[in-house]
């Protein structure tokens, strides 16, 4: 079990070492006005939305599903909240509205997948395509800016640590507690291995699938709030663009198989951190920002190949030869 996390951990450590070599002050943190600052905090803060979405995605992928619509859902959440606040609404009510609407969108995805039995990738493609249109419909194609101190706290606020980090870590803890301390995680995995068999064994496969999609949509909604609150604006076109891809990559790098049936929350945390560290690294070591994507592609392929099924099969011999990693 721990073996599977070896490569992600090594990749993350390698990235961090690279950063320290280039910027010796990389690990330094400082406390100012009761707020913690530093490169590591920046990585965590910028990675918070990705981590949150990746958590929801992990559970969806564990049921052998996938949710492409999270980026669009995040945009919708931001659009609803900002439009409501801009119209003079209470920020708390606005956020509540956004979460409720996104829960409905999650129900919709779950309905398509669990009741109609549509392949998850297509079922969520519908909302991925239409969702941005809906978000634009809500904002009427404008970038809605708001000025609400309460709302600003979600993405840019501090409670010693940035609030966004605290939210993401709290959700991580909650998911870990609920799925690993109860049978829920096992049931989710059993649905991923074989939905019909688990149904025959008395697992409510349909309800579980439904739950994970609603959970993924809620995570996406909170992430959308973070993204839009950070800039105090809702951009229906660009908020959360491609974040679903980053989230899926984070999950896969963390050793969760897209074939379903097993998942690792620690792996997802590592995956999200790797992706964010990678982006930060590119900036700090002075690679041209344009090449970020190439860099990302190379790392993703490298980590995936390390974990590839074929390598596992011949792994005994290969690992025996190297014998270096402790």
Partner 1 sequence: MVAPEVGAVPAKSPGSASRSARSRGRVNVPKRFLPVIATFVVFVATFGVGSVRYEGFASGQVMANLFIDNAFLIVLAVGMTFVILTGGIDLSVGSVVALSTMIAAAALQAGWPAWLVVITVLATGSGLGLAMGWVIHRFGVQPFIVTLAGMFLARGLCFVISVESVSIKDPTFRDLATGSIELPGGVTITYGVVIALVAVLAAVYVLHLTRFGRTVYAVGGSETSARLMGLATTRVKIGVYVISGFCSALGGLLFSLYMLSGYSLHAVGMELDAIAAVVVGGSLLSGGVGFVIGSVVGVLVLGTIQTLISFEGTLSSWWTKIVIGALLLAFIALQRIIVRRT
Q: How far is the CB of 104 from partner 1 (least distance, A)?
A: 16
Out of 137, 174, 197, 318, name the contact with partner 1 by CB under 8 A: 137
Residue 305 interacts with partner 1 (CB under 8 A)?
A: yes
Residue 111 interacts with partner 1 (CB under 8 A)?
A: no
**Per the structure block, which two tokens stand in for 20?**
């320290």
- Give every CB contact of residue 119 below 8 A, 6+ residues apart in sequence: none
Ramachandran sector of residue 238 (left: φ over 0; alpha: ψ -120 to 50; beta: rest): alpha
Rank residues 5 and 184 by Cβ distance to partner 1 and give the closer one.
5
Rank residues 51 and 248 by Cβ distance to partner 1 and give the closer one.
248
Residue 262 DSSP SS3: coil
DSSP output for 27-61: T--EEETTEEESHHHHHHHHHHHHHHHHHHHHHHH
Q: Could you give the CA distance from residue 66 to residue 12 in angstroms, rounded to a whole number?
A: 25
Residue 127 interacts with partner 1 (CB under 8 A)?
A: yes
Q: Could you give the CA distance from residue 294 to residue 10 in angstroms, rounded to a whole number?
A: 20
Out of 202, 309, 316, 320, name the contact with partner 1 by CB under 8 A: 309
Which residue in this structure is represented by tokens 């002050």? Answer: 25
Chain-centroid distance, C-alpha 123? 19
Q: Which of residues 200-219 bind partner 1 (CB under 8 A)?
A: none
Residue 96 interacts with partner 1 (CB under 8 A)?
A: no
Q: How far is the CB of 68 from partner 1 (least distance, A)?
A: 9
Out of 181, 196, 290, 321, name the contact with partner 1 by CB under 8 A: 290
Q: Could you give the CA distance from residue 85 to residue 137 in angstroms, rounded to a whole number?
A: 16
Rank residues 20 and 291 by Cβ distance to partner 1 and give the closer one.
291
* Size of the residue set binding partner 1 (CB under 8 A): 48
Q: Could you give the CA distance from residue 301 to residue 217 in angstroms, rounded to a whole number?
A: 28
User: 236 near 138, Cβ under 8 Å?
Assistant: yes
Out of 125, 161, 166, 193, name the contact with partner 1 by CB under 8 A: 125
For residues 252 to 281, the per-residue mask of contacts with partner 1, x marking binding by CB under 8 A and - elsewhere, is x-----xx----------------------
Report the interhelical angle of 205-231 vs 149-156 (nearest 10°).
Answer: 110
Judged by CB under 8 A, which stretch of 4-12, 162-170, 203-211, 302-310 contacts partner 1?
Answer: 302-310
Which residue in this structure is represented by tokens 């309800």? Answer: 207
Q: Could you give the CA distance from residue 48 to residue 4 in angstroms, rounded to a whole number?
A: 23
For residues 156 to 195, the per-residue mask of contacts with partner 1, x marking binding by CB under 8 A and - elsewhere, is ----------------------------------------
Out of 9, 14, 107, 300, name the contact with partner 1 by CB under 8 A: 300
Residue 136 interacts with partner 1 (CB under 8 A)?
A: yes
The strand pairing partners of 30, in sequence order, are: 37
Residue 326 interacts with partner 1 (CB under 8 A)?
A: no
Binding region for partner 1 (CB under 8 A): 66, 112, 116-119, 121-123, 125-134, 136-137, 140-141, 236, 245, 248-249, 252, 258-259, 288, 290-298, 300-301, 304-305, 308-311
């Amino acid at each position: 079990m721990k073996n599977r996390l070896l490569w992600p951990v090594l990749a993350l450590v390698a990235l961090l070492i690279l950063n320290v070599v280039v910027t010796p002050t990389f690990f330094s943190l400082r406390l100012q006005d009761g707020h913690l600052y530093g490169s590591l905090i920046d990585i965590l803060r910028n990675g918070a939305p990705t981590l949150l979405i990746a958590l929801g995605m992990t559970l969806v992928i564990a049921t052998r599903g996938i949710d492409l619509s999270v980026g669009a859902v995040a945009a919708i959440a931001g659009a609803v909240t900002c439009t409501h606040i801009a119209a003079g609404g209470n920020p708390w009510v606005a956020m509540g509205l956004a979460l409720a609407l996104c829960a409905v969108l999650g129900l919709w995805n779950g309905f398509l997948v669990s009741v109609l039995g549509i392949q998850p990738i297509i079922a969520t493609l519908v909302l991925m395509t239409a969702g941005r249109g809906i978000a634009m419909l809500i904002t009427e194609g404008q970038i809605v800016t708001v000025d609400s101190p309460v709302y600003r706290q979600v993405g840019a606020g501090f409670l010693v640590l940035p609030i966004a980090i605290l939210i993401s870590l709290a959700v991580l803890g909650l998911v870990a507690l609920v799925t690993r301390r109860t049978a829920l995680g096992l049931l989710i995995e059993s649905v991923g291995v074989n939905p019909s068999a688990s149904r025959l064994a008395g697992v409510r496969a349909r309800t579980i699938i439904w739950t994970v999609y609603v959970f993924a949509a809620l995570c996406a909604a909170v992430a959308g709030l973070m993204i839009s609150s950070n800039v105090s604006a809702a951009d229906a076109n660009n908020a959360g663009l491609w974040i679903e891809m980053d989230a899926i990559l984070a999950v896969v790098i963390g050793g969760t198989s897209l074939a379903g049936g097993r998942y690792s929350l620690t792996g997802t945390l590592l995956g999200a951190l790797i992706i964010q560290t990678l982006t930060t690294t590119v900036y700090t070591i002075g690679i041209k920002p344009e090449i970020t994507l190439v860099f990302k592609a190379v790392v993703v392929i490298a980590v995936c190949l390390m974990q590839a099924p074929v390598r596992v099969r011949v792994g005994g011999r290969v690992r025996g030869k190297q014998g270096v990693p402790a």
